[in-house]
């Protein structure tokens, strides 16, 4: 377990973590966060961060769903070590472990039929007893079963005492062993259960630290039963350190679901969130270092400690993410933002012009879509199409105002923000109007919209010739 001093106390093996997402069609941000924590923990200790794709549900695990995971992790900048492990390729090994436990007397064959088990559960429900397998074949001689009858292999769980986990996030959690039933390891058709597959893979991958969602805490007690049973059978079955990280909740305190909006990492990318902003936001969700708000990847690696992750669920706050994203946009490299914006604007976008305009464009945008929308005016063709609000501003009165502004600007020899500002301010004063009265129709004429960067920035970015042409196109004849 990690201590505050950053030492990997209590587990002297080199750190190996794993992230084990199931390909469900999207990379849930809650999972991405535990993946991030696993990855950071390994990087912090100079260990290995492994990736395992839990693709045993063949219906859902399409190549597309798997690619979504790889894309999302790559986009966030999380590179994992070694080749990813595909759980579905390891079914033989899972079965082998079940057979070994059977041979060692740590597991047994259960011939109970599905009907029999349903009846057992029905009775337990009627008697208000906990619903769990009652161990009916635990001590029975398999020869009592009918010839060739199908069977499952069940673990012989400990029945006495209790099991404690010193969870790096949750603290000490204890469960009485008699609350853990003899669960199935291998189904009658020879396929491994999820519970078996996870623990066999964790052990074979040499995982020392299991960092995952706290919805798996109960599973840990079962998985420990398998580990302990295998300790007498094979080398290398050491109990890992667990860290069960709370799930992410929505702003209303309920578990994050579709109702709260976007769930997948890809959705956030499509919303124009920068990867470094999502990285930082997920990192800060339930973990912190003093009151520092933003961390580079290097800082995160050097400071992250899983034992400092909050025990309580954290709330996802879209507004906060967008604000943070805005900060990251302002810090980001102009040419990089220009490339991203050009993709969003389309073929007619000019990256060089976007790069030049970026210091202005990026001052307000909270996401890349907003930024691209704010930049679109640069590439519009004359005559500009006016949106409804802009069209509403272009009254006869303001059209004649535009004509006089055009005359004034034609005489301007210094096409800079400062000179243009001084010029139009003086003109507004001469006319006894507020500057806004001039800026509104001007903005409409120059951009076709009512929202844009500052009007003097717009004039400079468009340049003298294009600005005057756009103004004249809207001015009174």
CB of 165 to ligand GLU, least distance (A): 14
Angle subtended by helix axes 396-410 and 417-431, to nearest 10: 130
Out of 58, 59, 128, 258, which one is annotated catalytic?
A: 258
Contact (Cβ atoms closer than 8 angstroms) between residue 23 and residue 65: yes
Considering the complex, state which of residue 87 and residue 467 has its C-beta at the smaller distance from ligand GLU.
Answer: 87
Residues 21-50, one symbol each (x = binds ligand GLU by CB under 6 A, - = not), give xx--------x-------------------
Considering the complex, state which of residue 21 and residue 272 has its C-beta at the smaller distance from ligand GLU.
Answer: 21
Half-sphere exposure (Cβ direction) of 164: Cα atoms closer than 13 Å: 3
* Long-range interactions of 316-323: CB distance < 8 A, separation 24+: 316/29, 316/248, 316/249, 316/250, 316/251, 316/256, 316/260, 316/285, 317/251, 318/251, 318/261, 320/281, 321/268, 321/273, 321/277, 321/278, 321/281, 322/273, 322/366, 322/367, 323/366
E strand residue ranges, 292-374:
314-315
Q: Is 425 a catalytic residue?
A: no
CB of 67 to ligand GLU, least distance (A): 16
Token digits of residue 406: 């055009």
Token digits of residue 394: 């272009």
User: Quick check: 198 binds ligand GLU (CB under 6 A)?
Assistant: yes
Among 156, 212, 284, 470, binds ligand GLU (CB under 6 A): 212
Q: Which stretch binds ligand GLU (CB under 6 A): 20-28, 140-148, 376-384, 439-447?
A: 20-28
Contact (Cβ atoms closer than 8 angstroms) between residue 471 and residue 465: no
Considering the complex, state which of residue 198 and residue 303 has its C-beta at the smaller distance from ligand GLU.
Answer: 198
Candidates 401, 361, 400; CA nearest to 379 is 361
SS3 452: coil
CB of 53 to ligand GLU, least distance (A): 9
- For ligand GLU, the nearest residue by Cβ is 212
Among 26, 35, 54, 402, binds ligand GLU (CB under 6 A): 54
Q: Which stretch binds ligand GLU (CB under 6 A): 14-22, 89-97, 392-400, 459-467?
A: 14-22
Nearest-angstrom CA–CA distance, 82 and 34: 19
CB of 235 to ligand GLU, least distance (A): 23
Contact (Cβ atoms closer than 8 angstroms) between residue 185 and residue 226: yes
CB of 378 to ligand GLU, least distance (A): 44
User: Quick check: 20 binds ligand GLU (CB under 6 A)?
Assistant: yes
Per DSSP, the chain holds a count of helices (H) and strands (E) of 19, 12
Considering the complex, state which of residue 209 and residue 443 has its C-beta at the smaller distance from ligand GLU.
Answer: 209
User: Quick check: 444 binds ligand GLU (CB under 6 A)?
Assistant: no
User: Quick check: 192 binds ligand GLU (CB under 6 A)?
Assistant: no
- Bridge-based pairing state of the strands 152-155 and 314-315: unpaired
CB of 130 to ligand GLU, least distance (A): 23
Considering the complex, state which of residue 207 and residue 439 has its C-beta at the smaller distance from ligand GLU.
Answer: 207
Candidates 452, 307, 300; CA nearest to 374 is 452
Number of shown-chain residues binding ligand GLU (CB under 6 A): 9
User: Quick check: 228 binds ligand GLU (CB under 6 A)?
Assistant: no
* Catalytic (active-site) positions: 258
Contacting residues toward ligand GLU, per CB under 6 A = 20-22, 31, 54, 198, 212-213, 216
């Amino acid at each position: 377990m990690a201590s505050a001093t950053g030492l990997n106390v209590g587990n002297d093996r080199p750190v190996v973590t794993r992230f084990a997402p199931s390909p469900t069609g999207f990379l849930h941000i809650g999972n991405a966060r535990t993946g991030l924590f696993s990855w950071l923990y390994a990087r912090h200790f100079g260990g290995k961060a492994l990736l395992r794709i839990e693709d045993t549900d063949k219906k859902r695990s399409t190549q597309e769903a798997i690619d979504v995971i790889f894309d999302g992790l790559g986009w966030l900048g999380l590179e994992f070590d070694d080749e990813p492990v595909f759980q579905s390729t390891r079914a033989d090994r899972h079965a082998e472990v079940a057979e070994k436990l059977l041979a060692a007397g740590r597991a047994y064959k259960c011939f109970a039929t599905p009907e029999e088990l349903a009846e057992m559960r029905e009775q337990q429900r009627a008697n208000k007893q906990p619903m769990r397998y009652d161990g009916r074949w635990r001590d029975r001689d398999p020869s009592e079963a009918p010839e060739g009858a199908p069977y499952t292999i069940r673990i012989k769980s400990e029945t006495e005492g209790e099991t404690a986990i010193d969870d790096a996030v949750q603290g000490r959690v204890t469960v009485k062993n008699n609350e853990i039933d003899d669960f199935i390891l291998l189904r009658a058709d020879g396929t491994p259960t999820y519970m078996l597959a996870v623990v066999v893979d964790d052990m074979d991958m040499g995982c020392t630290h299991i960092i995952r969602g706290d919805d798996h805490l109960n599973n840990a007690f079962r998985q420990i039963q398998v580990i302990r049973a295998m300790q007498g059978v094979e080398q290398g079955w050491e109990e890992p350190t667990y860290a069960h990280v709370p799930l992410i909740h929505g702003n209303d305190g309920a578990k994050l679901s579709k109702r709260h909006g976007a769930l997948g990492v890809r959705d956030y990318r499509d919303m124009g969130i920068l990867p470094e902003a999502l990285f930082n936001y997920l990192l800060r969700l339930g973990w912190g270092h003093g009151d520092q708000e933003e961390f580079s990847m290097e800082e995160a690696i050097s400071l992250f400690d899983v034992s400092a992750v909050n025990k309580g669920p954290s709330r996802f706050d879209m507004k906060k993410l967008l604000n943070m994203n805005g900060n990251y946009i302002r810090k980001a490299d102009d040419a990089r933002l220009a490339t991203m914006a050009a993709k969003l604007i389309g073929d007619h976008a000019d990256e060089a012009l976007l790069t030049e305009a970026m210091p202005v464009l990026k001052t307000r945008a909270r996401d890349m879509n907003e930024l691209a929308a704010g930049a679109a005016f640069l590439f519009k063709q004359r005559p500009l199409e006016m949106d409804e609000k802009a069209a509403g501003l272009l009254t006869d009165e303001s059209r004649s105002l535009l004509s006089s502004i055009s005359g004034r600007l034609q005489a301007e020899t210094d096409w800079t923000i400062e000179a243009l500002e001084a010029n139009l301010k003086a003109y507004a004063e001469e006319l006894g109007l507020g500057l806004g009265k001039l800026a509104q129709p001007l903005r409409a004429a120059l951009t076709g919209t009512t929202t844009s960067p500052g009007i003097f920035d717009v004039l400079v970015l468009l340049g003298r010739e294009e600005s005057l042409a756009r103004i004249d196109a809207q001015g009174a004849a």
